[in-house]
A and B are shown apart, each in its own frame.
Chain A
Amino acid sequence: MSKDAILGAIRRGLRRGPLPADQAAMLEGRLATHPRHLIPARSRIPRPDQIALFIRNVEKEFGTVARVDGPEAVPGAVADWLAGQNLPPRFVMAPHPDLLALPWSDRPMLTFEARRGEGSDTVSVQHGWAAVAETGTLLFPSDPTRPTTLNLLPESEIVVLRASRIVGAYEEAWDLLRAERQDAETGGFMPRNLMFVTGPSRSADIEQTLELGAHGPRRLHVVLVEDDPAAR
């Protein structure tokens, strides 16, 4: 069998047989404790600075950010942004309870469907699970309330993110994931798909020159909901 052949060749190269039990136990321990390596100093800063760093990094990567005072202001921010981009007031939205609970009826012009993304969608409103200030990166674990297709198919993606969900470094996001998520089917904490998104889609394949909007969204807009007293 190829598996045995591959493992056998590796062991021959390492000049040993299967790993002895005590060494295997050490490796098990390393997986269980998953030690962190060096974390760059840039994100280890006071809370308000972390939020500012996140915003700066999103903008550096050609995304945009609008800060709002609370959830009730989200529909207005979405409507304003769509109007500013000359986009129709229609979108497809992640069926996430936090998003469904927003006071959309305050803006009767806005219409939406809560579902996965389809090839013809122009705008999506997605639920931001968490974000990393270090590089302005948004995290989207897939589940029934946060379909992956909403990050990919529409030309514009609006992400509603609570400021309290911004962490400094990727490692802190891993800790959140391990603490908060349990997949009933697999028993693990990893969802089927976990996207780290840093800015809108782009390509530099033509003469190494950056163009936005390759296959994914051309525009990425974050509506940042201030809910973190420590961050003000």
Chain B
Amino acid sequence: MHITSPAFKKNAHRALNDAGLQKALKHARPMFTGNRARAVANLPEFEQLRDIGRDIKNHTLANLDWYLETYAANVERAGGHVHWCSTADEARAKVLEICRSVGARTVTKGKSMISEELGINEHLAKHGITPVETDLGEYILQIRDEGPSHIIAPAFHLNLEDWEKTFRAVHTDLPADRVFGDRRDILAEARTRLREKFLAADVGITGANFLIAETGSSVIVTNEGNGDLTQTLPRIHIALASIEKVVPTLEDATSLLRLLARSATGQDFSVYTTFSTGARRAADLDGPEQYHVVLIDNGRSNMMGTDFQEMLRCIRCAACMNHCPVYGATGGHAYGWVYPGPMGSVLTPTLIGVEKAGHLPNASTFCGKCESVCPVKIPLPKMMRHWREREFERHLSPASVRGGLKVWSWFAKRPAAYRLATRAMIAALGLLGRKKGAFRSLPMAGGWTEGRDLPVPEGGTFMARYAATQRGKRP
């Protein structure tokens, strides 16, 4: 996927002025947050489960090497294959090699963020293999050549008119005067169109929500059933999974599944939760002949032992972005890569580098809402702060920001000078703005005053007033 994270400010600006996007955001956000709140209210143990989820993931990460080896051994025992890949290049090459081994022409795909991260579609297409996205949202994005704007609702930025227009433009073999009365007609057309693709595909590629060390199983969670058709009908099933997806046992996965759907869509449980273990057995009537897991690192092992290790607990539920005021204003595309919102602001710099993604951790109000809804209690604000520190240390922030912070820190460390300077500033501003009552613009603060006025200071500094009240309180 083309990276536009360095242009976050420009992207965000464009998003704020995009009427269609703002309409979609306004419509979808209360649904996301409302549905989650209802589901959580219906499970009194939810808060306890969050602690359990965090602990399961922490335990796994502390023993990640052992659990991965055990998982891989159990996949092989069940007749599957595991391919360890350090880099995106390696993973792409492996997927292509498996597809070529059966002369694949078309490949169906379930929704997978790691596939977006690796750019599997582009790679297959470049080598003459047609990838077909089968999740309804991903399907329309593939047609429109857009990236996902949300990790579980990839096309939520589109409105009904966009769907209609796109379907008319590409399904040209259907009568041009067909009527799209409502969403159901769109769904029906997509179902018919994709059914042909499911039946024709040689290879099916899915992601994985969890890997189970105990049994060597991969787990996918969907509502449409597209992931299941993708992995059941073709001759080969490839599951793409990053290394942090592993959990020890079925019981551990179960506890996390109780958190996942509630946090994501506000359902008690997703419609289809499917455990795949090995390939078709000799007497089975259906299922793939080969089962491959492409196990991907792509930068994650380097997060171990760092300030960002806890990010590897993430179960990709999207609650953090659904509740984020910044995401709520800009949508997902502004973040410029695969992972938007608070989780993306932490993850993207680790995966593509802070030089490219340094703006993202700055796009936070530090309101703390993300951490308060995260089902595995990832301290997202703290980690965004770590990125800001690193950005500063590595001299990646602009000179004006660095200069300003330096001046501020000089004063902040010298209380007497600070008080003197603020007193002088207040007096000067008070004098200058006495008549108008507020400043519409200020030199060197144009960005700030563009959206609001600064009231003219009245009276003394905070410290002076505080001292006065303290004196007054004394008996």
A: residues with CB less than 8 A from B are: 1-3, 5-7, 9-15, 18-19, 23-24, 27, 30-31, 34-38, 40-42, 57, 61, 95, 115-117, 119, 134-135, 137, 142-144, 147-149, 151-153, 170-171, 174, 183, 185-209, 211, 213-217
> Is the Cβ of A192 less than 8 Å from the Cβ of B281?
yes
Residues in chain B near residue A10, CB distance under 8 A: 64-65, 68, 243, 301, 304
Asked, given contacts A192-B287, A205-B153, A208-B156, whether A13 binds B214 with beta carbons under 8 Å apart, the answer is no
User: 29 A-B Cβ contacts within 8 A?
Assistant: A6-B68, A6-B84, A10-B65, A10-B243, A10-B301, A13-B305, A18-B65, A19-B63, A34-B249, A148-B287, A149-B232, A149-B233, A170-B257, A185-B282, A188-B74, A190-B215, A192-B284, A192-B287, A192-B291, A197-B271, A198-B267, A199-B271, A205-B137, A205-B224, A206-B158, A214-B191, A215-B134, A215-B191, A216-B225
> Is the Cβ of B184 less than 8 Å from the Cβ of A27?
no
> Is the Cβ of B224 less than 8 Å from the Cβ of A142?
no
Interface size class of B (residues with CB under 8 A): 35 or more
> Is the Cβ of A205 less than 8 Å from the Cβ of B159?
no
> Is the Cβ of A206 less than 8 Å from the Cβ of B225?
no
Residues in chain B near residue A40, CB distance under 8 A: 43-45, 258
Binds A, one of B272-280, B340-348, B377-385, B466-474: B272-280
B: residues with CB less than 8 A from A are: 24, 27-28, 31-32, 43-45, 48-49, 52, 56, 62-70, 74, 77-79, 84-86, 90, 134-137, 140, 153-156, 158-160, 163, 183-184, 186-188, 191, 194-195, 198-199, 213-217, 223-226, 228-229, 232-233, 243, 248-252, 254-255, 257-258, 265, 267-287, 291, 295, 297, 301-306, 309
> Is the Cβ of A215 less than 8 Å from the Cβ of B269?
no
> Is the Cβ of B186 less than 8 Å from the Cβ of A206?
yes
Asked, given contacts A7-B69, A35-B251, whether A186 binds B287 with beta carbons under 8 Å apart, the answer is no
Complexed CA–CA distance, A221 and B308 (Å): 47
> Is the Cβ of B285 less than 8 Å from the Cβ of A188?
no
> Is the Cβ of A194 less than 8 Å from the Cβ of B305?
no
> Is the Cβ of A186 less than 8 Å from the Cβ of B183?
no
> Is the Cβ of B228 less than 8 Å from the Cβ of A152?
yes
Complexed CA–CA distance, A82 and B158 (Å): 37
User: Known pairs A3-B84, A202-B271. 15 more at Cβ < 8 A?
Assistant: A2-B84, A5-B86, A7-B68, A31-B213, A37-B251, A38-B49, A187-B77, A188-B277, A190-B216, A191-B281, A192-B281, A207-B183, A208-B32, A214-B225, A216-B272
Complexed CA–CA distance, A191 and B24 (Å): 42
Complexed CA–CA distance, A216 and B309 (Å): 38
> Is the Cβ of A41 less than 8 Å from the Cβ of B44?
yes
Residues in chain B near residue A1, CB distance under 8 A: 84
Complexed CA–CA distance, A157 and B117 (Å): 36
Complexed CA–CA distance, A24 and B69 (Å): 11
Complexed CA–CA distance, A206 and B74 (Å): 39
Interface centre among A36, A144, A148, A149 (most CB of B within 10 A): A148
Asked, given contacts A185-B282, A186-B278, A205-B155, whether A2 binds B86 with beta carbons under 8 Å apart, the answer is yes
The minimal Cβ–Cβ distance linking B61 to chain A, given in whole angstroms, is 8
Q: Which of A14, A142, A196 contacts B269 (CB 8 A)?
A: A196
Complexed CA–CA distance, A152 and B186 (Å): 20
The minimal Cβ–Cβ distance linking A168 to chain B, given in whole angstroms, is 13
Asked, given contacts A152-B232, A215-B191, whether A6 binds B301 with beta carbons under 8 Å apart, the answer is yes
Complexed CA–CA distance, A30 and B232 (Å): 32
The minimal Cβ–Cβ distance linking A85 to chain B, given in whole angstroms, is 17
Complexed CA–CA distance, A193 and B45 (Å): 30
Q: In this complex, what residue of B is CB-closest to A174?
A: B250
Complexed CA–CA distance, A201 and B135 (Å): 12
